[in-house]
């Protein structure tokens, strides 16, 4: 179903949002969704926590925001 709809809209990938349970994950996997995101995989992070996570995973140099 998702693939047909995506092709009709000329989309190349499908990301499903709001996956909170294993049951929903399994259902979407059976529907051939390309990607999924949601609380099941990771809790939301505050901006500073997100920057800290990125730095810990990828050793990024932190830059001051111009804003």
Structure token digits, residue 50 = 């997100």
**Domain extents for the chain?**
2-58
Q: Closest Cα partner for 1 from 28, 37, 41?
A: 28
Of 22, 24, 6, residue with least CA distance to 14 = 6
Q: How confident is the model at residue 67 (pLDDT cuts 50, 70, 90)?
A: low
Integer angstrom CA distances of residue 6 from 11, 39, 40, 51: 5, 24, 24, 32
The pTM score is 0.56
Annotate 10-48 with DSSP letters as a single string.
T-S--EEE---SHHHHHHHHHTT-SEEESTTT-----HH
Q: Is the pLDDT of residue 24 over 90?
A: yes
């Amino acid at each position: 179903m998702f693939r047909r709809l995506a092709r009709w809209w000329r989309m190349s990938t499908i990301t499903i949002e709001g996956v909170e349970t294993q049951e929903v994950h399994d259902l979407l996997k059976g529907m051939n969704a390309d990607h999924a995101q949601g609380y099941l995989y990771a809790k939301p992070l505050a901006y500073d926590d997100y920057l800290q996570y990125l730095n810990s995973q990828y050793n990024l140099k932190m830059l001051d925001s111009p804003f």
